[in-house]
Amino acid sequence: MKSALIESIILIAPLSMNPKQKEPITESFTEVKKEVRDQFNQLVSAINQMNAGEWSKFYSNDEFLSTIAGTDYYDTKDTWVDSITSYFNIRERQHIEPVEVRVTALAPNIALMTSEERSEIKLKDGENIKSKHVFTMIWRKEKDVWKILHSHESWLDEQAN
């Protein structure tokens, strides 16, 4: 099932291009963009609340493909959720603030989203971490709600002054 979905995404992306303009026809999918952006904003809220249970609901149960965080690869939703839960548990607070969010509809039910965020984390041991953070996500509409199939996130810690 997962390989069929990946093949579909690979096949759909070129088909979503207008050969004359070389711009995605999907730019007209304004509803897709709005819905994915709204879901992402709710995901950010769950992250800022350090609510792993709520955060994990944004990832697909049936179609989860993988996640990469930094250089760590997760091939099951359970291992990904366990990892994030442990990270949330060592933090006193955290806040990510989206700076830019870009959504490209690849099909009526598939979207690519990239984003940039400012991130601030205070660990329970007192350490403060400020970072530039980025996401790349593939979203798919399941029933009436958008879910994440794959995500990749990276960050660059800011130097202390």
Say if CB 71 and CB 144 are below 8 A apart.
Answer: no
pLDDT tens digits along 57-100: 999 999 999 999 999 999 999 999 999 999 999 999 999 999 99
Q: Which domains are delineated in the chain?
A: 2-157 (3.10.450.50)
Range with lowest mean pLDDT among 20-24, 85-89, 143-147: 20-24
- Residue 158 pLDDT: 84
| Whole-number Cα distances in Å, 18 to 15, 29, 102 | 8, 14, 19
Mean pLDDT calculated for residue range 105-125 = 96
Q: What is the pTM of this model?
A: 0.82
Integer Cα distance of 119 and 156 in angstroms? 10
- Residue 20 pLDDT: 45
